[in-house]
Structure 1
Amino acid sequence: MPDTSAPTPVAAFTPTTTAELPVIDVSALVRPGAGRDAVAAQIGAACRAHGFFYITGHGIDPALAARLERLSHQFFDLDEATKMQWRMALGGRAWRGYFPLAGELTSGRPDWKEGLYLGTELADDHPMVQARLPVHGRNLIPDVPGFREAIRDYMAAVTQLGHRLMEGIALSLGLPAHYFAERYTHDPLILFRIFNYPTQAVPEGLDVQWGVGEHTDYGLLTILRQDDVGGLQVRTPGGWIEASPVADSFVCNIGDMLDRMTGGLYKSTPHRVTRNTSGRDRLSFPLFFDPNFEARVQRIEGLAGADALDDSAARWDRANVHAFNGRYGDYLLDKVSKVFPQLRDEVL
């Protein structure tokens, strides 16, 4: 999900062959045993270098991901009038449902994608729903046979993977493995998106330049499955590079709140998605593993190399993530209200 707090100019893409994102086998985190510290060290090096890395050995059944991909294509192949039966305006404060092409903004400009917003399923009588807490509630899941079950199973599996990865990140910082779970993520805020980047041309007169414009994510950790079409680009110290698909892997990146927690030691990294000209539609499945809505994000004290300097002049959005104090949910709502300004009143 993009952070959209301020406009930013579109930079020219400068390919580089000198930098590649590391591929880390995380099986030692997923299946407890020897080797966790070595994996944590690799994650720490990636987070210090550019905040992005691939993971393999994650333990998630490829058949589950393939099933979700197949059913997602079935949904997006429906005509727009049918898909709008599950439009986000019907999701209310839960902030769930379908949005059409160019319906989501990054830096005030429409992205050339459509998608489904999803999250942890909560019944109407759940205390958080009864309290009208924004971004909590039921999902609006399209009536495609098997889709609900595939989404449920996939979210559950990747959420458990998120817990294990956060243990690795904690170890990489020299902290106890359960540091984040004890303070922020015992009951994480899980936001899940299914995005479709169509290969069709953009209508004349529509101000669209990217599949998704340049942005950073604003939570703790993003766990992304992408299909084999490609299009994700990451800004590294050596320039923009392609995060090309790697079979049976996830792409992980840290967000602004982990940047804040670590005092800038682990940087949230700008990334973007090119417009799809491949000749076939592209799917991506980002799951955002974030602090609990009520959590108050605090800086981790005593980290060597952390300075928490105001780096807003160098950021894509000119924001100072280290200046934020308060409830994570308030920070989240400020961001999502800019992604869909027409729905702002539903959650604020």
Structure 2
Amino acid sequence: MKWKMGNTNREWLGFFKVGQEMTYGSVDWKEGWYIDCQKEGDIKPAIGVPLFPTAEQELENDIQGFKDIIETYIKRVSALAQDIMEAMALSLNLPRDFFFKKYTYDPFTQMAMLHYPSFHKDKNISNPDDSSKIEKFGTGPHTDQGFLTILHQDNVGGLQVQLKDKPGHYIDAPPIPGTFICNLGDMLDKSTNGYYLSNVHRVKYNMTGRDRYSFAFFFDPNLDSVPELIPSEFVKQGEKPERWDKQNIHEGFSGTYGDYFMAKIGRIFPDYVYKSTGKLT
């Protein structure tokens, strides 16, 4: 809790406890830490809490090298994400640096280090034959907000992806050693007018008897960039099918990516209310 959300000037970064994060109004049964490489201006003078534990705190808590490991990982996965965006551009018959020049020259990045405790003794959960029980999720059904999410998960599993042609039907996305899972986000969906869809996914309520850990890296447009329809013969104008959450990211949203991000984060963390200034109250 020394590094809880709201303690630095990038107030969406930091620790959140079980029950604090919500997805579309339902509690997510996980805890975690949103983190990025340290930048100048992160520290609020009135609070004085750095983004990472100090070298002394690393030693005290037996996590020597923590900051270096996390920042190195973020830099390397950022490079991977840039490569993927180049491949996406080429797949649309665009110059390979199209997304870099327009959106990811200074990308908005963050990593979620997530812990899903096991609730294997919980009997009050839903099943198909008992409507009196409560439906619970590690993370509820949602789409990610930006361009790409590059996910590393442990071998416990729990991630599920909704089938494109069967709303409400999910399949497991089991961990495969030596691989990442890549989710596409809302801004790629918006920029391609649905040619590349942001995929709906969720995480099952953990009842395995083992703790689950996953590391989701979000690679998104610059906060000041304005997502627009890209010039490609693959991107067609026209009406899109209704989204699973009834929102319209194509005509229903305009403005900077930062505007979209702030609005979505405000719904995920109801304990923190974003104002038009981008500050938390």
Q: TM-score range by the shorter chain?
A: 0.7 to 0.9
8 Å Cα contact 2:92/2:234 also seen in 1: no
Residue 224 (structure 2) pairs with residue 319 (structure 1):
no
- SS of the residue corresponding to residue 199 of structure 2 reads coil
Which residue identity does 2:267 align to in structure 1? K
Specify the alignment match of 2:197 in structure 1. Answer: 267
Distance of 2:42 and 2:195 partners within structure 1: 41
CA drift at 1:94 = 3.1
8 Å Cα contact 1:213/1:272 also seen in 2: yes
Distance of 1:146 and 1:203 partners within structure 2: 40
C-alpha change, 1:257 and 1:171, in structure 2 (3 Å) is same
8 Å Cα contact 1:91/1:140 also seen in 2: no
Distance of 1:114 and 1:91 partners within structure 2: 19
5+ long unaligned stretches in structure 1: 1-83, 130-136
CA drift at 1:308 = 4.9
Residue 101 (structure 2) pairs with residue 101 (structure 1):
no
97, 112, 118: which is aligned to 1:178? 97
CA drift at 1:337 = 0.8
Distance of 2:20 and 2:134 partners within structure 1: 12
Residue 47 (structure 2) pairs with residue 117 (structure 1):
no
Which residue identity does 1:275 align to in structure 2? Y
Count of matched residue pairs: 255
* TM-score, normalised with respect to structure 2: 0.83
Specify the alignment match of 1:164 in structure 2. Answer: 83
C-alpha change, 1:125 and 1:204, in structure 2 (3 Å) is closer
C-alpha change, 1:120 and 1:297, in structure 2 (3 Å) is farther
Which residue identity does 1:259 align to in structure 2? D
C-alpha change, 1:120 and 1:269, in structure 2 (3 Å) is same
Which residue identity does 1:146 align to in structure 2? G
8 Å Cα contact 2:6/2:280 also seen in 1: no
8 Å Cα contact 1:124/1:138 also seen in 2: no
Identity, in percent, stands at 40
Specify the alignment match of 1:213 in structure 2. Answer: 140
CA drift at 1:91 = 3.1
Specify the alignment match of 1:335 in structure 2. Answer: 264
70, 91, 99: which is aligned to 2:8? 91
CA drift at 1:317 = 1.6
CA drift at 1:253 = 1.3
Specify the alignment match of 2:128 in structure 1. Answer: none
Superposition pairs for residues 255-294 of structure 1, below 5 Å?
Answer: 255-294=185-224
5+ long unaligned stretches in structure 2: 126-132
CA drift at 1:119 = 2.1
CA drift at 1:325 = 1.7
- SS of the residue corresponding to residue 215 of structure 2 reads strand
CA drift at 1:305 = 5.4
CA displacement, residues 288-323 of structure 1 (integer Å, 9 cap, x when unaligned): 100001101110134335335243xx3222110102
Superposition pairs for residues 291-306 of structure 1, below 5 Å?
Answer: 291-304=221-234, 306=236
Specify the alignment match of 1:248 in structure 2. Answer: 178
Which residue identity does 1:222 align to in structure 2? T
CA drift at 1:147 = 1.5
Specify the alignment match of 1:189 in structure 2. Answer: 108
* TM-score, normalised with respect to structure 1: 0.68
CA drift at 1:138 = 5.9
C-alpha change, 1:318 and 1:125, in structure 2 (3 Å) is closer
Superposition pairs for residues 62-101 of structure 1, below 5 Å?
Answer: 84-101=1-18
Distance of 1:125 and 1:333 partners within structure 2: 18
Residue 69 (structure 2) pairs with residue 150 (structure 1):
yes
CA drift at 1:149 = 1.4
CA displacement, residues 67-105 of structure 1 (integer Å, 9 cap, x when unaligned): xxxxxxxxxxxxxxxxx2221132354321111111100
Distance of 2:81 and 2:40 partners within structure 1: 23
CA displacement, residues 226-272 of structure 1 (integer Å, 9 cap, x when unaligned): 11111000012354111011111000011011001001111111100
Which residue identity does 1:210 align to in structure 2? F
CA drift at 1:332 = 0.5
Distance of 2:179 and 2:190 partners within structure 1: 27
Residue 261 (structure 2) pairs with residue 344 (structure 1):
no
Distance of 1:125 and 1:250 partners within structure 2: 29
